[in-house]
C-alpha cells in the first residue's frame, strides 16, 4: 500500500467519525430540546390551571360582594339594622 493511499484512508475515516459524532450530538440536542419543551408545556399547563382556579374563586367572591351590597340596601335589611341599633342603644342605656 502506498503512503498516500494510507493517508487518504486515515483522513476519510477521521472525517467519517467526525460526521457520525456530529450527527449523534445533534440528535442528543434534539431530544434534550424536546424534553425541555415538554417540561415547559407542563409548567404552562399547571400555571393555566392555577390561574383558572384563581379566576373562579375571584368570580365567586364578586358574587358574594354583589349580594352583600344589594341585600344590605333592601327595605328588610334597613329595618333589621334599625331594630338592631335600637336594641344596642337600650343595652348601652341599661349598662350606664
Instruction: Indicate the domain borders of the chain.
Output: 3-70
* Prediction pTM value: 0.45
Least confident of 29-33, 45-49, 50-54: 29-33
Whole-angstrom Cα distance, residue 96 to residue 78? 27
Whole-angstrom CA distances from 29 to 13, 32, 53, 57, 61 are: 24, 5, 36, 42, 47
The set of long-range contacts for 87-91, using a CB threshold of 8 Å and a minimum separation of 24, is none
Model confidence at 43: pLDDT above 80: yes
Q: Provide the pLDDT for residue 55.
A: 95
Amino acid at each position: 500500500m502506498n503512503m498516500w493511499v494510507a493517508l487518504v484512508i486515515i483522513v476519510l475515516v477521521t472525517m467519517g467519525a467526525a460526521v457520525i459524532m456530529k450527527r449523534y450530538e445533534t440528535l442528543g440536542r434534539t431530544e434534550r430540546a424536546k424534553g425541555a419543551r415538554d417540561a415547559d408545556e407542563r409548567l404552562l399547563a399547571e400555571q393555566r390551571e392555577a390561574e383558572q382556579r384563581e379566576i373562579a374563586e375571584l368570580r365567586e367572591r364578586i358574587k358574594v360582594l354583589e349580594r352583600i351590597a344589594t341585600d344590605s340596601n333592601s327595605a328588610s335589611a334597613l329595618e333589621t339594622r334599625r331594630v338592631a341599633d335600637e336594641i344596642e342603644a337600650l343595652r348601652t342605656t341599661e349598662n350606664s
